[in-house]
Amino acid sequence: MIKPLTLECEIHFKRKRDGRKVLKDGPAPNSPDTPGSIPRISRLMALALRCERLLHKGTVASYTDIGKLGHVTQARVSQIMNLLNLAPEIQEVLLFLPRVDRGRAPVVISELQLIASTPDWQQQRMMWESLKSEKGIDADSLAQYL
């Protein structure tokens, strides 16, 4: 059974002259220190790790349950969860890719599916290096995020 989600936040009211309560404007939400957006593949990698934790805890029973929660198919959940088959170093790099100012992120999930389907981590590392050089991702730009 899925537990209900609880959201906690502060809400402030002020009273009008006639005694009615109205919402009071609050402070603006914090904006990130660095511009740009987090690459989609980084968010998907984090999602895969979170879903794995939910499965191990028993909060969700299967990929089908995860798919229902996220309103996606079981096949899409499998694609995302396949990222967990990547070598740990590759997962770490994906989690800490630099923000994208505009355009597409340098790496997309479809490019990683073949690497993730390779059981040998050493072979994965070679395939990853090849993909990085093909995409122009240099180790120096990633080193600051590790």
Q: pLDDT in tens for each of the 146 residues of the chain?
A: 567 767 677 777 788 888 887 877 777 666 656 677 889 999 999 999 999 999 999 999 999 999 998 899 999 999 999 999 999 999 999 998 888 887 777 788 999 999 999 999 999 999 999 998 887 776 555 544 44
pLDDT at 145: 42
Q: Which long-range contacts (CB under 8 A, 24 or more apart) does 65-69 make?
A: 65/2, 69/2
Is the torsion defined by CA of 128, 106, 66, 72 positive or negative?
Answer: negative
Q: Which two tokens stand for residue 108?
A: 């997309």
Tell me what pLDDT residue 31 has: 60
> Do 117 and 81 meet the contact criterion of CB atoms below 8 Å apart?
no
Element (H or E) spanning 21, and its range? Answer: strand 21-23
The CA–CA distances, whole Å, from 128 to 68, 71, 103, 115, 122 equal 32, 30, 22, 7, 10
Q: Where are the domains of the chain?
A: 37-97+107-143
